[in-house]
């Protein structure tokens, strides 16, 4: 009964609302996303984790969530589901609530017009004016708190200059 994660992943080459819900014995989905992207049997494109939960007894949790979402399953031998992301998140949280050690799924706000962006829709993120699009990930990791606080002001200034 090892601990692990149940993740929700999306490949932008997949149709809308097609998500992979799977497990990994690692505590972070980044390595698994790289594996999925490099596997030759999968769709083209890159997999991005849209969230995950760290759970106890990951094997059983995966079976439980797959069984509960079986009506949304695209193919019985694959872990792909045709489901809205908010519904997948709600299902995982409610069905696995007694097994969740750490919840790294996104908060659901149905009133937020940009909620799809918040929940990991990479296509919408690329079309947005988020400051994160303009900062290299290596730079972001090396910034201290005060440098990060400067970004919103800098971004507002750039937006003002462009208009």
Spatial separation of the C-alpha atoms in residues 75 and 63, rounded to whole Å: 15
Q: Which of 106-120, 126-140, 141-155 has the highest mean pLDDT?
A: 141-155
Spatial separation of the C-alpha atoms in residues 104 and 50, rounded to whole Å: 9
Please state which of the ranges 22-26, 102-106, 136-140, 158-162 shows the lowest mean pLDDT: 158-162
Report domain extents, the chain: 4-112, 129-162
Whether residue 7 has pLDDT greater than 70: yes
Q: Give pTM, 2 decimals.
A: 0.63
């Amino acid at each position: 009964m090892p601990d692990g994660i149940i993740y929700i992943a999306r490949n932008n080459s997949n149709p809308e609302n097609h998500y992979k819900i799977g497990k990994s014995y690692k505590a972070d989905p980044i390595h698994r996303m790289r594996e999925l992207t490099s596997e030759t049997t999968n769709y083209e494109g890159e997999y991005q984790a849209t969230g995950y939960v760290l759970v106890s007894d990951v094997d059983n949790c995966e079976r439980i969530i797959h069984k509960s979402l079986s009506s949304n399953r695209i193919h019985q031998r694959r872990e792909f589901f045709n489901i809205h992301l908010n519904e997948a998140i709600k299902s995982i949280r409610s069905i696995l609530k007694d097994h969740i050690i750490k919840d790294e799924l996104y908060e659901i706000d149905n009133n937020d017009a940009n909620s799809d962006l918040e929940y990991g829709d990479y296509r919408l993120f690329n079309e947005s004016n988020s400051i994160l699009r303009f900062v290299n990930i290596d730079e972001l990791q090396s910034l201290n708190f005060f440098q990060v606080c400067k970004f919103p002001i800098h971004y507002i200034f750039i937006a003002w200059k462009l208009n």
